[in-house]
Amino acid sequence: MSELAALAGVPVPFDYEGKTYQVSRRTLRVEAAMEVWAENQALDAIERQRPRVAADAYERLLAVWERDVAAADVYCFEGEVVRRAVSFPGPGQKHLALLQLTYLPEQPHRATAELVDSIFRDRRDDYDAYKRLLLAMARADGRLVPNAEGAARPPEKAA
């Protein structure tokens, strides 16, 4: 697919388990959803610390988070937090994949969090499906998703 087609918003097909899904380009809506996801991940991490830290320390952590959200660049899509989150297999990359698979109203098959979970969970056994998904995301954007072609193969399972 050409960059022009990607800019025009033409979805990229992704075949998995006998079904073809359409991967949307990364729209402002997708980017905004990723930013909210990153903000929420940080807030959840602070909340997990609440029982372990003094009240004043918790308030300071919360104040830093609020400052970072207000700064608008800490959790922006092009910022370091989101960039790192989508560069490696894990919750950030998985969430971006889910967004790009579900933000198309004309999707021929319903993409779900369970579908994306299975691709990421099973990447040790079916690395090809994981890599094809990342490459479809890259083609849909008309550029490479960080680490798409050079994604490190997960370690082999112990026998």
CA–CA gap between residue 91 and residue 21 (Å, rounded): 21
DSSP state at residue 52? G
If you search the block for the tokens 């609020």, which residue do you land on?
Answer: 66
> Is residue 49 a part of any domain in this protein?
no
pLDDT on residue 108? 75
pLDDT on residue 22? 93
pLDDT, one tens digit for every residue, the chain (159 residues)? 445 555 556 889 999 999 999 999 999 999 999 999 999 999 999 999 999 999 999 999 999 999 988 887 899 999 999 999 999 888 999 999 999 999 877 777 888 899 999 999 887 777 889 999 999 999 998 865 455 444 444 445 555
CA–CA gap between residue 100 and residue 75 (Å, rounded): 19
Enclosing domain of residue 107: 3-26+88-141
Asked if residues 22 and 139 have their Cβ atoms less than 8 Å apart, the reply is no
**Token pair for residue 106?**
């004309």
**Domain total in the chain:** 1
pLDDT on residue 123? 79
If you search the block for the tokens 């072609």, which residue do you land on?
Answer: 149
* E strand or H helix at 19: strand 19-23
pLDDT on residue 1? 45
pLDDT on residue 107? 74
CA–CA gap between residue 60 and residue 36 (Å, rounded): 21
Q: Work out the burial of residue 16: count CB atoms within 10 Å of its CB; fewer than 13 is exposed, 13-18 middle, 19 or more buried.
A: buried
> Is residue 117 a part of any domain in this protein?
yes
| Residue 31 C-alpha from the chain's centroid | 10
Coil, strand or helix at 159: coil
> Is residue 112 a part of any domain in this protein?
yes
Backbone angles phi, psi at 19, to 5 degrees: -120, 150
**Token pair for residue 114?**
């369970």
